[in-house]
């Protein structure tokens, strides 16, 4: 595995790679969720590039940019063992120039749900993903369904800008207890981890209801709220179609149920694709 820190070197190294290239962009503090993306990239491509970059432009004022978990040495080891060919680890000054051209998230999709709670977050996320896709020019790029809105926006960006990369959605990886894996889970105390299970429990309840033919979005949301409210501070529960339009009734094959909630000082998200 080679570790690269500059964009010029990355472009040169990328150009020497023959055959299909899978790319996994991350912000580090790698866990089993990231590893499953890397394994998928490895299984379906001849070469694999991973990036680790805590992108400052997607953090809002007062968010956790400064304390975002860093595990540089462990991350390098994980990538090496997983058979990654190139690990790209740039700094912010390498990735950004002052007063640069920006990409903006679309007015509706970029500003509902996560975008409503974190206005501007998706602009910064899209900006860096566009840079990373251009630098790595991958055949396939792998993104987790846990960040469902992020995934939808990146898919839209690839369409809008006619990118050649195939955006591959990957299933959520959970702890044995059901907690969706996230680098931010490192902030949770053991008690908070227990409370955080309310998110996946509420989604399991929703699954059961749908399996029992309860399709009314309001009834499902109320049942989820009952599970969540004693353990977390709910930000939103939403039932939308795959284009993120709110649904009154669940449509099997075209629904995402999303939840965002605080457990102590940690904001968590989770979702279920039906
Ligand atoms: O999902 C993430 O870790 C980040 O949003 C991404 C896609 C690496 C862009 O910084």
Q: Which of 31, 34, 44, 166 is catalytic?
A: 34
Question: CB under 8 Å to 108, separation ≥6 — which residues?
Answer: none
Task: Indicate if ligand 1 lies below 6 Å from the C-beta of 129.
Answer: yes
Task: Indicate if ligand 1 lies below 6 Å from the C-beta of 27.
Answer: yes
- Write out pLDDT tens, residues 21-43: 999 999 999 999 999 999 999 99
- Write out pLDDT tens, residues 174-188: 999 999 999 999 999
- Write out pLDDT tens, residues 189-207: 999 999 999 999 999 999 9
Active site residue 39: no
Q: Which of 131, 134, 147 to mutate to test the pocket of ligand 1 (most atoms within 8 A of CB)?
A: 147
What does the pLDDT read at residue 43?
A: 98
Task: Indicate if ligand 1 lies below 6 Å from the C-beta of 272.
Answer: no
CA distances from 80 to 27, 49, 143 (A): 17, 11, 20
Contact 151, 167 (CB under 8 A): yes
Question: CB under 8 Å to 219, separation ≥6 — which residues?
Answer: 209
| Cα-to-centroid distance, 207 and ligand 1 (Å) | 28
Q: Give the closest residue (by CA) to ligand 1 atom 8.
A: 26
Nearest to 242 by CA among 268, 273, 202: 273
Region 106-116 average pLDDT: 96
Contact 24, 50 (CB under 8 A): yes
End-to-end CA distance of the chain: 38
């Amino acid at each position: 595995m080679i570790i690269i820190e500059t964009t010029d070197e990355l472009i040169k190294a990328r150009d020497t790679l023959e055959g299909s290239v899978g790319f996994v962009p991350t912000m580090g503090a790698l866990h089993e969720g990231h590893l499953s993306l890397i394994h998928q990239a490895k299984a379906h491509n001849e070469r694999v590039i991973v990036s680790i970059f805590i992108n400052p432009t997607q953090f809002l004022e007062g968010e956790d940019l400064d304390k975002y978990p860093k595990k540089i040495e462990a991350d390098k080891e994980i990538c090496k063992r997983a058979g990654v060919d190139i690990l790209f680890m740039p700094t912010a000054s390498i990735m950004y120039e002052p007063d640069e051209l920006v990409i903006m998230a679309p007015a509706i999709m970029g500003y509902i749900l996560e975008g409503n709670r974190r206005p501007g977050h998706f602009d910064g996320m899209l900006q860096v993903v566009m840079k990373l896709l251009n630098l790595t020019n991958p055949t396939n790029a792998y993104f987790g369904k846990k960040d469902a809105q992020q995934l939808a926006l990146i898919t839209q960006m690839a369409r809008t800008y006619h990118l050649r990369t195939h955006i591959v959605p990957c299933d959520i990886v959970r702890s044995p207890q059901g907690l969706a894996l996230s680098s931010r889970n490192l902030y949770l105390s053991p008690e908070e981890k227990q409370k955080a299970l309310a998110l996946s429990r509420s989604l399991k309840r929703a699954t059961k209801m749908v399996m029992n033919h309860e399709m009314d979005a309001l009834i499902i949301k109320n049942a989820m709220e009952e599970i969540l409210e004693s353990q977390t501070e709910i930000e939103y529960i939403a039932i939308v179609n795959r284009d993120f339009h709110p649904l009154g009734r669940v449509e099997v094959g075209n629904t995402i149920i999303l939840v965002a909630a605080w457990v102590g000082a940690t904001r968590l998200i989770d979702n279920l694709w039906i």
